[in-house]
Each structure stands twice: as C-alpha cells, then as structure tokens.
Amino acid sequence: MGHARPGSICLLGVTVRQSRPSRRPAAVLGSLLTAVLTALLTATLLVGGASPAGANARVERAIELDLTQKDWRTFKLVGTVEALVDGKVLIQRKKCQKCSWRTVTKERTNEKTRFKTKIYAPQTGKWLWRVRVNAQDGWDRSYSEKIATYLR
C-alpha cells in the first residue's frame, strides 16, 4: 500500500480519511478510535471470529422443579426436563460454598419427561442442590436453579 495522504490515518493497512483535516484533540481521537474499530472489525472478519448466529448454537433444556417436605428433614423433589423422554438426570449436592458439586443420585425421566427423588437437609448448616442434564441430541449441558435445604 502507498503512503497515507495528509488528513487520513493508516492503521494495520486500513486507511480512514477525514472530511477535512483538523488539529483539535477531540477530532483526532475520534478519527483514531474509528480507525482502531475498523481495523479490529476487519481483522475479526478475516480471521473468522464472527460466525452466523445459529451455526453451532446449542440450547439448554428448561428444568422445572417442585419441592415438598415429607418429614422433618426429608423432601420430595419432582421435576420436568424439556424434551428428555427416558433420559438420565443427575441430582447434585454442594455441602459448602467452597466445596464442589457431587453427584448424589442418578434418576431417569419417564415418558412425560418427569422425575422424582428424595433429598435431605443436614443436621447443621445448609446444603445446596441442583439438577444436571448432560449434553445430547443437539442440546447443551443444562442445570436447574439451586435449592437450599436447612433446619431451623
């Protein structure tokens, strides 16, 4: 490429021309910002960073939960999972904030995409529970909202 003309800015091979040269700092900064954004956009498109919106997009399943207390520290967790007939559902528990999620039980959904299991509350403290469904059939790995169980 040739040299940039007076009144234009050349950055990464992209030349941005101003309508008329200005010596005001705001105009120079605006032109520089325009040149940088244009160069970044061009570089992104050339590298292939921008892909169509639905090319490899995977959707998470909707997981709805209902919790009812059965005993003083026993709860019945019933849930539905979007489009998962006879599929595997993992019930996970977290004992503290810094602890990692542990799989407590594995359940299967029925023909109506429902599952049920028992969860418990600890003697002291609180436990967090969630439901996880692994990725399959074009769906992404999905998680339910967190549920806390504790005794007062």
Task: State pLDDT tens for residues 27-80.
Answer: 555 666 666 656 666 655 555 544 444 556 789 999 999 999 998 899 999 999
| pTM of the full structure | 0.62
* 39 half-sphere exposure, CB direction, 13 A CA radius: 14
Q: How far is CA 102 from CA 99, 106, 141, in A?
A: 9, 11, 16
Q: Distance between CA 67 and CA 76 in Å, rounded?
A: 6
Under 8 Å between Cβ of 126 and 146: no
What average pLDDT does range 81-96 have in this prediction?
Answer: 94
Q: Which 8-state DSSP code applies to residue 90?
A: E
| Domain residue spans of the chain | 8-47, 59-150
Distance of CA 15 to the CA centre of its chain: 38
Q: Is CATH 3.20.20.70 what the domain over 59-150 is classified as, yes or no? A: no
How would residue 81 be classed by pLDDT, with cut points 50, 70 and 90? very high
What is the token pair recorded at 134? Answer: 């692994």
